[in-house]
Amino acid sequence: MNAPASSLASLLALPGSYPAIVAAAASRRLPGFAVRLFDHVGDVYRRVEIAAADDAPDVVALRLAALVHEEPPPSLPGLLADAGMGGLSGCACAVVGAFGEVWKARSDAQLRRYVEAHGRRLAPILLFEVAHEGRAIPPMERAAEVGGLRAELRSWLERLAAAGVENESVSAPGEEEGDGTAEPLRGAGNECSLHAPIIGSRRKRNHVRKYRVIDGERSRPPASGSPRRACSGSTSRETSPCAR
């Protein structure tokens, strides 16, 4: 697929366009888009497309989030503006900024706060979490229940399963797989109905990333052990889930 220099938005609008985006980036036809694209990013991009379906309201913004989800969240507003993608920045920042938060919810009260904090953006945020993993861990299921997204979650999982995604692994370089240790999901009394184990050793947001120089610029990883920070607007409650 031949693409003009300013075509990232048009490519994101097309289903299955990740190979074309990689080719356009490699040939420097995506000016300002200084993002490292590697196999893990492509895997997540494909999963997001499968889970969301081509006509999902936020599918274009979710594709963009998949492209940039390995970048430090504080860098995203500037990076996306440089790439001419400011119009989708609000949703992409919200999704990437919230990425990994649900794994830290260890009680029903924490999950309810998570759902309330993300409001109408909960759907794209949860979809991205589920697509990234290829499955729903118990806190994701509970968040979907509290947030009124049980039917949506079922649809995402059915699409992933139909595509054979549930048996794949998409751990990013440097991510640690679970070692079999588990920590139960805790609630007040019987408040939380999902007490399945959560793999305790998985440190999703603190793995060390390596970046290469692209167009003379180096994407800097956050300091080791630094938590991911949400971009501004990640707790917005606008009518459209991913409206700026």
Burial of 199 (0-12, 13-18, 19+ CB in 10 A): middle
Residues 195 and 174: their CA atoms lie apart, in Å, by 28
Write down the pLDDT at residue 56: 84
105: left (phi over 0), alpha (psi -120 to 50) or beta: beta
Total structural domains in the chain? 1
In this structure, is residue 157 part of a structural domain? yes
In this structure, is residue 241 part of a structural domain? no
Least trusted range by pLDDT, from 8-17, 45-54, 219-228? 219-228
Write down the pLDDT at residue 55: 78
In this structure, is residue 2 part of a structural domain? no
| Residues 117-172: tens digit of each pLDDT | 999 999 999 999 999 999 999 999 999 999 999 999 999 999 999 999 865 544 44
In this structure, is residue 50 part of a structural domain? yes
Residue 83, token pair as written in the block: 């790439």
Residue 158, token pair as written in the block: 């059915």
Residue range(s) defining the domain that contains residue 100: 8-218
Please name the residue that has the structure tokens 């009680």: 107
| Residues 93-109: tens digit of each pLDDT | 999 999 999 999 989 99
In this structure, is residue 68 part of a structural domain? yes
Higher local confidence (pLDDT), 209 or 116? 116
In this structure, is residue 54 part of a structural domain? yes
In this structure, is residue 65 part of a structural domain? yes
**How far are the Cα atoms of 56, 118, 123, 136, 242 from residue 46, in angstroms, in the given order?**
14, 24, 18, 17, 20
Write down the pLDDT at residue 136: 96
State the average pLDDT over residues 172-182.
Answer: 38
206 three-state secondary structure = coil
| Residues 4-18: tens digit of each pLDDT | 444 899 999 999 999
- Percent pLDDT > 70 in the chain is 65
Write down the pLDDT at residue 166: 66
In this structure, is residue 233 part of a structural domain? no
